[in-house]
Amino acid sequence: MTFPANTPDPIDPVKLDKLAEVAIQVGLQLQRGQDLVMTAPVAAMPLVRLITKHAYKAGAGLVTTLYSDEDTTLSRYAYAPDESFDRASDWLFKGMAEAFAGGAARLAISGDNPMMLSAQDPAKVARANKANSIAYKPALEKISNFDINWNIVSYPNPSWAKLVFPNDPEEVAVEKLANAIFAASRVDVADPVAAWKEHNANLARRSAWLNGERFAALHFTGPGTDLTVGLADGHLWCGGASEAKNGVTCNPNIPTEEVFTTPHALRVEGHVSSTKPLSHQGTLIDNIQVRFEGGRIVEAKASRGEEVLNKVLDTDEGARRLGEVALVPHSSPISASGILFYNTLFDENASCHIALGQCYSGCFVDDTKLTPEQIRAQGGNSSLIHIDWMIGSGQVDIDGVRADGSRVPVMRKGEWA
């Protein structure tokens, strides 16, 4: 990223350093001697360097970073032979899975242009995504099963910034996106670590209330939505900081405003409409409308990106079932910002949402004692994908439904009841 000479850096270096510190101390709580595997766009090098510094200051054993680059990604679509799109670097993902099995932590920096692949052949994009999902599954399972401490943070890549703020010069767009990231990530305050401690306590109280209620289902109603999401047997609500199976308490997502759990893959009925666009692998999917029967999506349409949506749903059997349901108040700071980030990490924290595909096995009581077969028997879904999309707004009500059919208000007009 280069800007004209004598132009002030649009990214506040003090806040960027605080973000790096929060990623290590709050996001990962990296342990002394623990290795770290990091992935990042090359544009995020300034943040990579700061995170690496804080990781080693915390006693990291070895920090290894794998980089991605938009231009080289697009070169594949421009010049690679057709058979390339059915291949993925399985050797690399096997190595990552081996590192996680050996105790390494995982940190991802997001920041690529969410619409990078929007002009590419959707069939090739879908094939490449499927091949990548299959190859990545051994590593993804270590993350989705919460075997390790992991974290995602974001960096204001210029191409992403221009998508969010298209009417501003690049340096202004980058500054605006950087400030929005810093605010959402709670690093624009004097003591971000203390701010996260307070925020985590609030999310823990919400989770504890929901866990005490033991609802059998949640009923969503609103414009274009009348959806009953059955909850998995023995489900557990989580939010904010949670303890991974390796004993480390971490905040997987920075930012986060959600409390979430595992739906029952066979007990979802009704119809639901998205309330924000979904940016998926370079395609914007807007005005999603789906209908569930017996937990499975039997009808799906969208005003934009419908072809890509249906290819996603055909990834495997579990892609048409839910792996997560999450509650976020409409007044969350990210929602209040009024910014559409085109990035699920942020946009999902502006709205209640559901996720297609793989469930989080950590969202079960006594999860460490459950086998994959037991998780499936209790309603946990299995898939190569996990894709969140937003269904909440200031017009959506949610009731908790108990096993006896009695109902408790959970949210009214998008706010906690």
- What pLDDT was estimated at residue 282? 74
Specify the 3-state DSSP secondary structure of 85. Answer: helix
At 4, is the pLDDT very low, low, confident or very high (cuts 50, 70, 90)?
low
Averaged pLDDT for residues 271-278: 95
Cα 293 from chain centre: 26
Amino acid letter, residue 289? Q
Q: Looking at 193-262, which runs of residues are DSSP E strands? A: 217-222, 225-231, 242-243, 249-250, 259-261
Distance CA 86, CA 131 (A): 6
Virtual CA dihedral for 270, 271, 276, 280, nearest 10 degrees?
90
Average pLDDT, the chain: 94
15, 23 contact by CB (below 8 A): no
What confidence tens digit (pLDDT) does each residue in 334-386 have?
999 999 999 988 999 999 999 999 998 889 999 888 999 999 999 999 998 99
For residue 286, the 8-state DSSP code is B
* For helices 13-22 and 192-213, angle between their N-to-C axes, nearest 10 degrees: 40
Distance CA 207, CA 209 (A): 5
Specify the 3-state DSSP secondary structure of 312. Answer: helix
What confidence tens digit (pLDDT) does each residue in 233-261 have?
999 999 999 899 999 999 999 999 999 99
User: Is residue 389 pLDDT above 90, yes or no?
Assistant: yes
Distance CA 291, CA 273 (A): 9
> Under 8 Å CB-to-CB from 381, ≥6 apart: which residues?
262, 263, 265, 318, 321, 322, 323, 357, 358, 359
Virtual CA dihedral for 122, 388, 219, 367, nearest 10 degrees?
130
Instruction: Report cis status (omega within 30 of 0) of the bond before 138.
Output: no
Pairing, β 105-110 against β 397-401: unpaired
